[in-house]
Structure 1
Amino acid sequence: MSIHVWDYVIKWGLARNPELFSDPTSYSRNDFNTLKNTLQQCIPFIKFHNLTSKDFSKKVLPYKKILPKDLYNELLDDFLNDDRKPIKKPTTNVEKFEENGINSKIITTQRAELISKWINGQKSTDELEISYNFKLLYRESVDGFDRFKKFHEICDN
């Protein structure tokens, strides 16, 4: 699942910078810096340690210049270890959301994790310590189009 997140983040970054080619082997230093500046807020949310060595090698290494140096060195050390297996951490509510798909146009998996960190008083770069179970309370297309009245009826208290 993490490799799909990485793929989409790269696609999003390229879409935000249409002057960049999809092949990073042709990038200049400025091209990498442009992509790095675009994606710097997204990188902390990618679970690189859950990738296979093959995915890391084929999909992440070509973009190594956009990763923070300390993260890149840590990942390189992990992925060069032949005995390495993807780290399976206990499933958090955010990961359960990710598996089931957050069916919202407003709250994404990354935003749910960020909101959880805000509730915990953590920085956005911190590892999530406690996760929360987010529950969809109101959907206009399901609950009706009388927005304010129905919303308050369902969500108040």
Structure 2
Amino acid sequence: MEEIKIWNRVIGWGIAQNSDLPTNPKNWSHKNFLSLKTTALYKIIYLISDIFRCLMTLTNNVQPYQQILEKNLWDNITKDFMSADRQNSEPIINGAHAAEIASWVDKKVYTYIHMSLNYFFEELEMVYKDSFWRLCAKQTHLVVIIKVKGTDEILGGYNPIGWDKPVKKDFCKRCKDSFIFH
């Protein structure tokens, strides 16, 4: 089933659970959106991995319910659509990849079925050679994923203690919880 059909059914189900909601979401109060959000929708919405593929889908189906999404998620979704050079690009990883990486971070012996709500993956584009340090310096619990240009190869790693730009040549930090993958 297409993701947008799943989205529409999930929203429809949530609305059906809250019979006191006005018919038109444009007339909803913040409390109405909160009711919809707390009807377990916040757990279901994150299962739909590729729902935000086209701008029409976003504006017609998702935007009226933007208040049930976390602000940083909504901001990142709209930022992606504002960037013309990214509109036709595919994400580096999908929801299943994110769930698997989250399982590794949590040291689970099984792979999560869906991404844990404790994690937020944000795709950042590095344009200049210092972009990594500008975007990642002092960030802790950071997963870095890189797609090798011109290939399907993906490389990455997890660092729970954060990144500092080295001040001397042999500077390094050690952590038993870090890992790399390809």
TM-score of the aligned structures, taking structure 2 as reference length: 0.49
Aligned to 1:85: 88
Cα contact 1:14–1:22 (8 A) shared by 2: no
Equivalent runs, 1:52-71 vs 2, <5 Å:
52-71=54-73
Distance 1:53 1:19, change over 3 A: same
Distance 1:120 1:80, change over 3 A: same
Aligned to 2:162: none
What 5-or-longer segments of structure 2 have no aligned partner?
122-182
Aligned to 1:3: 4
Deviation of residue 44 (structure 1)? 1.4
Cα contact 2:49–2:94 (8 A) shared by 1: no
Q: Which amino acid aligns with 2:60?
A: K
Distance 1:79 1:22, change over 3 A: farther
Cα contact 1:14–1:35 (8 A) shared by 2: yes
The residue matched to 2:46 in structure 1 has which SS?
A: helix
Aligned to 1:18: 19
How many residue pairs get aligned? The number is 107
Between the two structures, name the one with larger relative contact order (CA 8 Å, sep ≥ 6): 1
Equivalent runs, 1:1-157 vs 2, <5 Å:
1-38=2-39, 39-48=41-50, 50-83=52-85, 84-85=87-88, 87=90, 119-120=110-111, 124-125=116-117
Cα contact 2:7–2:51 (8 A) shared by 1: no
What 5-or-longer segments of structure 1 have no aligned partner?
95-112, 128-157
Q: What is the distance in 2 between the residues matched to 1:3 and 1:123?
A: 19
Q: What is the distance in 2 between the residues matched to 1:58 and 1:85?
A: 19
The residue matched to 1:18 in structure 2 has which SS?
A: coil
Which range is displaced more, 18-27 or 41-50? 41-50
Q: Which amino acid aligns with 1:87?
A: E
Going by fraction, where is helix more abundant, 1 or 2?
1
Cα contact 1:49–1:75 (8 A) shared by 2: no
Aligned to 2:153: none
User: Identity rate of aligned residues, in percent?
Assistant: 27
The residue matched to 1:57 in structure 2 has which SS?
A: helix
Q: Which amino acid aligns with 1:14?
A: I
Q: What is the distance in 2 between the residues matched to 1:90 and 1:15?
A: 33
Q: What is the distance in 2 between the residues matched to 1:78 and 1:89?
A: 13
